[in-house]
């Protein structure tokens, strides 16, 4: 892969991974518009690793606190709000693992067309707007049932254009979470989802005879990680002030542009 090509796609991946606008759509579109070749398994694995590193580094203190609370709950029978939150986040993280493993080949071969991306970009953008508009003034506690609903919604993100962060934030808002808490839930359950995706892609990569360009992949990992980190910071700082409507407008504009290109 050309280094400029790799740098551009890594930047796109990092910027769009945690914003509710679909990273997969933005990675597919440049190839459709500019005739770039598919970035390949090695590149996908590298940028997922960068995004994973970004979210783990940003939430390192929260992850440590949640892990400590779980240990206290299990070993000393001392439940807490943090341990209940951790268990609910684990529940929300589970559905994507089996669904992602068994559906990945169908998604990669059947659902990467620009028509699908345009449709999901618009429809799930409107769903985000509706959830943000309907949210109540008082946040509801995160229960196992609400956590599973968010986890099931995350499975829809396997379809390009849906947006993993967008669909999980949408469901979290519908489940009564505040704007910021919905984003935090989305980021935290992204950790096992992205780790699982990277592991599956790495396993597939081991079975291919292609020798990766390790230098280019290393640069892509760093660029994706840094840009993803700053997007997490920006989103959590502005979401309570401006809400999710600007992202809805962006998605509608992007989807409309794609439909105009097609028809």
Q: For 190-245, what is each residue's pLDDT tens digit?
A: 999 888 878 877 777 777 776 767 788 888 899 999 999 999 999 999 998 899 99
How many structural domains compose the chain? 1
Look up the domain containing 124 and give its range: 3-11+21-262
In this structure, the number of other CB atoms found within 10 A of the CB of residue 217 comes to 21
Residue 224 has what pLDDT? 93
Residue 107 has what pLDDT? 66
In this structure, the number of other CB atoms found within 10 A of the CB of residue 124 comes to 26
Could you tell me how far CA 142 lies from the centroid of its own chain?
20
Per-residue pLDDT tens digits for 173-182: 999 999 999 9
Q: Which residues contact 123 (CB under 8 A, 6 or more apart)?
A: none
Token pair listed for 246: 């600007």
Q: At residue 100, does pLDDT exceed 90?
A: no
In a domain, 234, yes or no: yes
Higher pLDDT, 75 or 106: 75
Using a pLDDT cut of 90, give the percent of the chain over it. Answer: 51
Residue 113 has what pLDDT? 76
C-beta of residue 134 within 8 angstroms of C-beta of residue 174: yes
In a domain, 16, yes or no: no
Residue 41 has what pLDDT? 63
Phi, psi of 53, rounded to the nearest 5 degrees: -60, -40
The span from the CA of 25 to the CA of 31, in Å, is 10
In a domain, 198, yes or no: yes
Confidence bin at 38 (pLDDT 50/70/90): low
In a domain, 220, yes or no: yes
Give DSSP secondary structure letters for 144-164. HHHHHHHHHHHHGGGSTTS-H
Residue 112 has what pLDDT? 65
Q: At residue 126, does pLDDT exceed 80?
A: yes
Q: At residue 129, does pLDDT exceed 70?
A: yes
Confidence bin at 59 (pLDDT 50/70/90): very high
Using a pLDDT cut of 70, give the percent of the chain over it. Answer: 91
In a domain, 150, yes or no: yes
Phi, psi of 218, rounded to the nearest 5 degrees: -65, -45
Per-residue pLDDT tens digits for 235-262: 999 998 899 999 999 999 999 988 888 8
In a domain, 61, yes or no: yes
- The closest of 13, 7, 259 to 113, measured between CA atoms, is 259
Q: At residue 109, does pLDDT exceed 70?
A: no
Confidence bin at 108 (pLDDT 50/70/90): low
Residue 203 has what pLDDT? 76
In a domain, 180, yes or no: yes
Residue 258 has what pLDDT? 85
In a domain, 230, yes or no: yes
Confidence bin at 110 (pLDDT 50/70/90): low
The span from the CA of 30 to the CA of 14, in Å, is 15
C-beta of residue 108 within 8 angstroms of C-beta of residue 160: no
């Amino acid at each position: 892969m050309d280094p400029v090509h790799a740098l551009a796609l890594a930047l796109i991946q990092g910027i769009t991974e945690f914003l509710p606008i679909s990273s997969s759509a933005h990675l597919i579109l440049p190839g459709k518009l500019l005739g770039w070749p598919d970035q390949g398994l090695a590149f996908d694995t590298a940028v997922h690793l960068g995004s994973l590193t970004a979210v783990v580094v940003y939430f390192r203190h929260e992850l440590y606190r949640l892990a400590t609370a779980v240990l206290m709950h299990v070993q000393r029978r001392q439940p807490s709000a943090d341990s209940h939150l951790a268990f609910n986040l684990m529940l929300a993280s589970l559905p994507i693992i089996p669904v992602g493993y068994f559906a990945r080949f169908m998604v990669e071969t059947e659902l990467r067309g620009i028509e699908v991306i345009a449709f999901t970009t618009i429809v799930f953008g409107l769903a985000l707007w509706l959830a943000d508009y309907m949210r109540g003034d008082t946040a509801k506690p995160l229960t196992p049932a609400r956590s599973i609903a968010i986890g099931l919604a995350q499975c829809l993100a396997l379809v390009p254009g849906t947006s993993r962060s967008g669909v999980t934030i949408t469901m979290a808002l519908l489940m009564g979470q505040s704007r910021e808490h919905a984003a935090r839930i989305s980021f935290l359950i992204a950790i096992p989802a992205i780790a699982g995706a990277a592991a599956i892609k790495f396993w597939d990569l081991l079975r291919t005879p292609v020798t990766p360009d390790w230098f280019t992949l290393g640069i892509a990992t760093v660029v994706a990680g840094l840009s993803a980190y700053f997007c997490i910071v920006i989103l959590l700082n502005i979401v309570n002030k401006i809400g999710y409507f600007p992202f809805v407008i962006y998605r509608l504009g992007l989807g409309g542009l794609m439909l105009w290109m097609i028809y």
